Structure 1
Amino acid sequence: MPEKKTVSRARADKRAGKAPTTQAGEFVKEAIDHVRSGKHGVKSAKQAVAIGLSKARRSGVDLKAPKKGAVSESTRKKAEKDREAGQHTSTARKSASTETKAKRSRTTRSVLEREGGQGASGGALSKQAKSAAAKRPAASRSAAAKQASHTMSASTRSNAAKKAAATKGAQGRSAAAKKAAHTRAARAHH
């Protein structure tokens, strides 16, 4: 069950006209926060993302199921069922009893509690983000990077540059300055 503040943030994103994936991001963040705070664990970063996306679909975020071939058929069907549950387009099928739902919920939670928290570590999430980005075409990645830099304020860009310079070290800054000068000189000749 997602927290009220997560649902309200997702609804605010929807009112602002943001994409369903952005709205779902609120639920993914919540799932990662739960793992980090020790509420439960996950096998991998991919599982943490999947938990968040499932919660998002069941909460009414209009997030489509993955395309055929992109994931296993069982995963696709689960995503479609979650979406239907969130859109309240219930079929004539009978729902499970409250007792069955409670037992399922308990079992799921106990399984997740036995998992570790490494799936939500910075390294695991970074690896997951890179592997997901690698599957996207270069044009899509480039467009996303441009969009991110446009939405960033000048002060945020400045702070990011300061942080980058601080982590580089003296030799790194010197090398970067030489490379920049070399690039400017090369471009001046064209």
Structure 2
Amino acid sequence: MPEQETIERAREDEREGKSPSTQAGEFVREEMEHIREGKHGARSPQQAIAIGLSKARRAGVKLPPPKRGSARTKKQAARDSRKGKTARRRKPSRTRSRAVTKALKRESRRPASHRALSRQARSAARQRTKASRSRAAKKAARTRKRKR
């Protein structure tokens, strides 16, 4: 369950008209904090990000499933989004929750390190096409706050 503060921050982003990925960023940030605090670990930075995105979808952030993900990932993303839209019918299984937490506790804390995240950001940026980068830059210039 995400912290109340994270949900509020994401809601504020939504009120300000920011994109769903920006809203979801709050949940990813929280996940990284949890790993750094030693609450649990992750196998890789990608797994930590995926956990954050899943929590965002379950909290009601309107994040679409990934375009280039596997069928399984897309299906899971759709399931998470559905969970975020409907009220909870059943209490989560205590045994299962404990098992997930225990498995994550065995994982490393290194994926949330500055170095690992920097490597992840670089590799993600490298995968983007020139057109995609150019489009993002133009949008940034268009939406930049002007000085009076």
Do they superpose with TM above 0.5? yes
TM-score (norm 1): 0.69
**How many residues are aligned here?**
145
Give the Cα separation in 2 of the matches to 1:151 and 1:130. Answer: 24
TM-score (norm 2): 0.88
Give the Cα separation in 2 of the matches to 1:75 and 1:45. Answer: 16
Q: CA RMSD in A?
A: 2.3
Give the Cα separation in 2 of the matches to 1:142 and 1:43. Answer: 33
Q: Within 5 Å, which residues of 2 pair with 1:166-181?
A: none
Greater relative contact order (Cα 8 A, min sep 6): structure 1 or 2? 2
Whether 2:98 is the aligned partner of 1:106: answer yes
1:139 to partner: Cα distance: 2.9
Task: Write the letter of the residue equivalent to 2:77.
Answer: A
Give the Cα separation in 1 of the matches to 2:137 and 2:102. Answer: 40
1:66 to partner: Cα distance: 1.2
Match of 1:120 among 112, 135, 139: 112
Give the Cα separation in 1 of the matches to 2:40 and 2:87. Answer: 31
SS in 1 for 2:69: coil
The answer for the alignment partner of 1:74 in structure 2 is: 72
| 1:153–1:116 CA distance, 2 compared to 1 (3 A) | farther
Give the Cα separation in 2 of the matches to 1:62 and 1:14. Answer: 10
Whether 2:47 is the aligned partner of 1:55: answer no
1:71 to partner: Cα distance: 2.0
Amino-acid identity (%): 51
Structure 2 gaps of 5+ residues are none
SS in 2 for 1:41: coil
Give the Cα separation in 2 of the matches to 1:152 and 1:114. Answer: 45
Superposition misfits of 4+ residues, deviation over 6 angstroms: none
Give the Cα separation in 1 of the matches to 2:42 and 2:146. Answer: 35
Give the Cα separation in 2 of the matches to 1:107 and 1:7. Answer: 25
1:151 to partner: Cα distance: 4.6
Task: Write the letter of the residue equivalent to 2:46.
Answer: K
Give the Cα separation in 1 of the matches to 2:134 and 2:22. Answer: 18
Match of 2:82 among 84, 96, 103: 84
Give the Cα separation in 2 of the matches to 1:65 and 1:49. Answer: 14
Give the Cα separation in 1 of the matches to 2:128 and 2:93. Answer: 37
Larger Rg: 1 or 2? 1
| 1:153–1:28 CA distance, 2 compared to 1 (3 A) | farther
Give the Cα separation in 1 of the matches to 2:71 and 2:105. Answer: 27
1:153 to partner: Cα distance: 9.4
Structure (1 or 2) with the greater helix fraction: 1
Task: Write the letter of the residue equivalent to 1:54.
Answer: S
Give the Cα separation in 1 of the matches to 2:87 and 2:109. Answer: 35
